[in-house]
Structure 1
């Protein structure tokens, strides 16, 4: 089991200040290879969600706007009918957003003008709601004397995940369920009552597993079986059952490692075997307050926290080493996204985006072979 305690660092020198490292600072004689390189700010409330793909960054906040950024500049904006964009995922040319009103909205950019985004769908569709509402068997009781259609989330959509090969979208909600959607026809295939409290995270893996994390403090694993109308998700095991809320889950591209952030300030991780009986479990300790987001890229792990910092870890097999802390936010770090740094000149690296309740997104450059700070 690997433990790493957070260390306090001296404040940045003038040479390392955000202004000196900003890409807009044309007087600088050197280009920074890692560290804070800029801030993206729109005075529209806390940043709740991020997604990065193909050089574009999508940001969701308390406003009705979803902003798209390119090369550190605002590229375009598209508006939803509901505020608080709590989740964003991208699949091909489609952008899926989860909202406070319990709906999932689907967007597509114009092939001739990528600045124009059009809403092409809503999950569930109006037609499906109408068709489903005719049959009383499609209603479920969620509270005393209150029933809702099983295909609808009746509380905020807090998280989204895509199973690319299967063409499926998973949505988790504060209504304690996760739902499975067929992207090609917008149909809700299944709704699973997964937890006894709000879902904060859902993630699909490449080997047919789905993991869910809840405010009740548990992480559960489900196995996808069958296809189409015969698809079912069978409960397999509980990886974690603690008193601290699970805030985020992320799985490596290989599906081998699972990371879980929680409100006690730690990151739990597991190595999953094919039969799902985990043979390794560890804890990363680097934060003073709740871990709110985790991202993985290459051999690096990034954890953002309510303590306003981002910790960077390196993974070698199941062994993790703490590398450094990235400071710059004035509020809790709520979300983090990573993409390959196309401009890196040192054999690979990453651009890290961190969204905060200070209403800003910070942009960092981190080399793949980042060295440990002492």
Structure 2
């Protein structure tokens, strides 16, 4: 659905300039239950997701590459056991707090993934870094550019890149801090073998052909099937591809949309959900055919003018969510045959990332904020608005906080931003609502107060297994 007051963009894919908020570490319970006013500057252009983030103005802080730090510098700003200073001192305060902020000025953060006690971060610096207990544990480097996506399956790490390739890494059995590249998708063997057949080529642009098993544009997202047998990759080339993990082969390519595919997620019962810059969310049904697999179009959940930028499915696979460039989050319930359940309103600019954790739904936005929603059945209540980043929030990852003594079912949330930082938050499923309920149809105007500045100290960093 279109947000009231939105407009269709012109055909030129112009850049946008993000204003930098001068306040830092702002976090508070929202007190004003009034609705957000319509904003003419809300992102509603039909475009690739990352083009909401580009800036033709070289003076933008997000385009400054001159401040790259040496590999051995890793400042960590830590903030623990902080009481959130509310303007009113009632006892109904939110337990969600900022725990720390990692700033390594070597590139914008585009991807995050967690595995046990490890955090993987990907950026446009070609580096993939591994963190343990807020200290740098390992690092490895690709010879490509931007690291757009990271997924982990056992000892293997899959990274999707701007050059359209998927790189496969494996943790050393002798030294867990060493990561070695063990392959690239598609493999060189498949490229040589299949490139000789003219039937493997199709036209991608005028007077330009490409083989069907290779992405010819940037990879936007990666997702594993439920049984971790297949890896899905979506791309700006309008397709998604299916890879069999056991032999690293592409077994299917689907021309899914009329514009860039910004997000893909494998759901339940062999269903796959894709979101695109063409403004649609589509459902695909996987069927096994002999040794291969075939995906059939099932239905379109959403068709709108503004781009779909993120798709997510909750852990018990009962709700499907999508974020859009107009700042809205739509959702559909499985019990009602994927009928539309409502709209979550909390952002004033494009939703850039979307994840679920337990009963929580978390959305990061170009407005530099993170909305935290708690789901109860089909109803959603906003329990936090997390602010503190000075750039668009590009990626999110969460893991259960097993070490916390709290009974509030806490999660550790990591947020990566184009301000070149990763922030670490503690969020709880039992948080009280900030000020309003029924957020599927309303949203507040929020001006959170500021947290005290966190103390900074240099962390002892270690980089191992760096590979060119």
Q: Same fold (TM over 0.5)?
A: yes
Shift of 1:262: 0.5
Quote the Cα distance in structure 2 between the aligned partners of 1:228 and 1:177: 23
Q: Secondary structure at the match of 1:247?
A: strand
* Aligned residue number for residue 369 of structure 1: 430
Greater strand percent: which structure?
1
Choose which of 402, 416, 426 in structure 2 pairs with 1:355: 416
Listed as ranges, the matches of 1:120-199 within 5 Å are 120-165=182-227, 167-199=229-261
Choose which of 370, 385, 394 in structure 2 pairs with 1:325: 385
- Residues 358 and 19 (structure 1), Cα distance of their counterparts in 2 relative to 1, 3 Å cut: closer
Q: Which moved more, 1:176-185 or 1:32-41?
A: 32-41
Choose which of 226, 248, 255 in structure 1 pairs with 2:310: 248
Quote the Cα distance in structure 2 between the aligned partners of 1:266 and 1:69: 32
Choose which of 338, 343, 363 in structure 1 pairs with 2:398: 338
Residues 195 and 211 in structure 2, CA contact (< 8 A), matched pair in contact too: yes
Residues 26 and 387 in structure 2, CA contact (< 8 A), matched pair in contact too: no
Shift of 1:89: 0.6
- Residues 54 and 227 (structure 1), Cα distance of their counterparts in 2 relative to 1, 3 Å cut: farther
Listed as ranges, the matches of 1:212-227 within 5 Å are 212-227=274-289
Shift of 1:53: 1.4
Mapped pair 1:21 → 2:83:
no
Residues 198 and 215 in structure 1, CA contact (< 8 A), matched pair in contact too: yes
Residues 260 and 268 in structure 1, CA contact (< 8 A), matched pair in contact too: yes
Quote the Cα distance in structure 1 between the aligned partners of 2:170 and 2:78: 37
Shift of 1:365: 0.7
* Aligned residue number for residue 27 of structure 1: none
* Aligned residue number for residue 373 of structure 2: 313
* Aligned residue number for residue 36 of structure 1: 98
Quote the Cα distance in structure 2 between the aligned partners of 1:12 and 1:92: 36
Shift of 1:346: 1.4
Q: Which moved more, 1:185-194 or 1:163-172?
A: 163-172
Q: For each residue in 1:110-160, what CA deviation from the matched residue of structure 2 results, as whole angstroms up to 9, or x when unmatched?
A: 122111000111100000011101111001111111111111000001100
Quote the Cα distance in structure 1 between the aligned partners of 2:357 and 2:289: 31
Aligned residues: 353
* Aligned residue number for residue 138 of structure 2: 76
Choose which of 323, 327, 336 in structure 2 pairs with 1:261: 323
* Aligned residue number for residue 87 of structure 1: 149
Choose which of 233, 244, 267 in structure 1 pairs with 2:295: 233
Quote the Cα distance in structure 2 between the aligned partners of 1:264 and 1:279: 21
Q: For each residue in 1:299-327, what CA deviation from the matched residue of structure 2 results, as whole angstroms up to 9, or x when unmatched?
A: 11111111111011110000001112011
Q: Which moved more, 1:363-372 or 1:348-357?
A: 363-372
Q: Secondary structure at the match of 1:226?
A: strand
Residues 346 and 367 in structure 1, CA contact (< 8 A), matched pair in contact too: no
If the length of structure 1 is used for normalisation, what is the TM-score? 0.90
Residues 331 and 342 in structure 2, CA contact (< 8 A), matched pair in contact too: yes
| Poorly superposed stretches of 4+, deviation over 4 Å | 10-13
Instruction: Give the structure, 1 or 2, with the largest relative contact order (CA under 8 Å, sep 6 or more).
Output: 2
Residues 341 and 350 in structure 1, CA contact (< 8 A), matched pair in contact too: yes
Residues 91 and 164 in structure 1, CA contact (< 8 A), matched pair in contact too: no
- Residues 137 and 233 (structure 1), Cα distance of their counterparts in 2 relative to 1, 3 Å cut: same
* Stretches of structure 2 lacking an aligned partner (at least 5 in a row): 1-24, 29-75, 83-93, 436-468
